[in-house]
Amino acid sequence: MKYRLVILTEIISPYRIPLFSAVAKNSKIDPHVIFLAETDPNLRQWRIYKEEMDFSYQILRSRRMRVGMYNVLLNCDVSKSLARAAPGVILCGGYNYIASWQALFWARKHNVPFVLWSESNAQDMRGGHALVEFLKTKFVQRCSGFVVPGRSALEYLRLHKVNEQTIFIAPNAVDNRFYAAAAEDARQNTSRNRAELGLPGRYFLFAGRLVREKGVFELLSAYAKLEESIRRQIGVVFVGDGAARAQLEQQARAISPGTIMFAGFAQRERLAVYYALAEMLILPTYTDPWGLVVNEAMVCGLPVILSQAAGCAADLLRENWNGLLVSPADVTSLTSAMRNLACRPELCETMGARSKQLISQYSPLLWATAIEHMIDALGESRD
């Protein structure tokens, strides 16, 4: 008999679909996913790949509203949906939704194990407000267990005095097969793809939202500090959109020589092309729970330059092996790292191959297996 797992998560994210599909293929688990909303139109431009959602799911009725500095998501029928789903375990993606608290209270009332899927880490700048931290502590204290993507999130829960036996690592993953195949196809047609997208012959790549906390201004400043001879050979391509784009474009116009391109938002099919033809991925973020673009870039065979604030850095970056680590907001350090790799293309190639080797271990199947182990362990603790 399969164990009924109900997953509560905010929106339909393309990078989560492979994880939920992998769980649906697990012989021991019967998953049902409850999405609080289909998407967040204010932040996300993702295409929603419903044709790939080969698992049971529902999308709750919802309404978004602004309360002071916070965006609030209101949902209908949370308790009724949980009752219909009849969970044996609830896996909840986050504590910062009203629906999360409703689900927690429902689980406690019905004696159902409630597991928090937590990606927070000590470098995450989104915390710190006294009331938020108080509520977070109360929420964490009431959870039966925790699923984390890696070491940074694990250490964060340790700081909150969580019993380590209740923490389970389910490594964050993307659809490795898709990105590997798409990158290979892109490289088979390099000249055509460069011409179609207007790409420079060599370029550093940033992929993500163009907002200050992603370190995009530091990346632009670091590029400007490179020697003219390097900037004549290699450009910077920003893939993504966001509130900082106009200011970035204005500052970029003052940098010469050099090639700086703002490609806008790219769906995954086009994004794989940008990865495939780049020299390296750079994520100089101030705060990031994980950074799944790093998984995607590594599958495509890229070395990475990561900020220490990126949640994935502790797991996916091996210093001087598949990339370089820099301090957040440290332009000098970032400039040095960019120069180091830009002037050593053979090292970039070697590091990229190592990235691909390392990330092959981070698969949706591994995530699903970890969820199975979590369910087994919770079941044993209740016997």
Tell me if 114 sits within 8 A of 141, measured CB to CB: no
Beta strands per DSSP E along 96-241: 114-117, 145-148, 167-169, 203-207, 235-239
Rounded to whole angstroms, the Cα distance separating 39 from 11 reads 5
Rounded to whole angstroms, the Cα distance separating 99 from 10 reads 9
For 252, 272, 279, 316, the CA distances from 307, given in Å and listed in that order, are 22, 22, 18, 12
SS3 328: coil
Q: pLDDT tier at 216 (50, 70, 90 boundaries)?
A: very high
Mean pLDDT along residues 299-323: 97
For residues 128-138, b (16+ Cβ closer than 10 Å) or e, as one string?
A: eeeeeeeebee
For domain 176-359, the question of CATH label 3.40.50.2000 is answered with yes
Mean pLDDT along residues 33-39: 95
Rounded to whole angstroms, the Cα distance separating 274 from 237 reads 9
Residues 6+ apart with CB under 8 A from 252: 220, 260, 262
Q: Looking at the chain, which residues constitute the CATH 3.40.50.2000 domain(s)?
A: 3-173+363-378, 176-359
- Which range (36-45, 221-230, 329-338) has the least confidence? 36-45
Mean pLDDT along residues 147-151: 97
SS3 22: helix
First to last CA, the chain: 17
Which residue has better confidence, 122 or 338?
Answer: 338
Q: 145-148 and 167-169: which strand pairing?
A: parallel
* pLDDT score, position 382: 61
Tell me if 341 sits within 8 A of 222, measured CB to CB: no
Mean pLDDT along residues 35-54: 89
Q: pLDDT tier at 140 (50, 70, 90 boundaries)?
A: very high
| The pair of three-digit structure tokens given for residue 94, joined into one six-digit string | 């986050």
Mean pLDDT along residues 88-93: 97
* pLDDT score, position 194: 97
Sign of CA dihedral 19, 23, 24, 26: positive
Rounded to whole angstroms, the Cα distance separating 77 from 99 reads 9
Query: Would you tell me how many other CB atoms lie within 10 Å of the CB of residue 304?
Result: 27
Q: pLDDT tier at 71 (50, 70, 90 boundaries)?
A: confident
For domain 3-173+363-378, the question of CATH label 3.40.50.300 is answered with no
- Which range (69-73, 250-254, 275-279) has the least confidence? 69-73
SS3 293: helix
Tell me if 136 sits within 8 A of 95, measured CB to CB: yes
Q: What is the pTM of this model?
A: 0.94
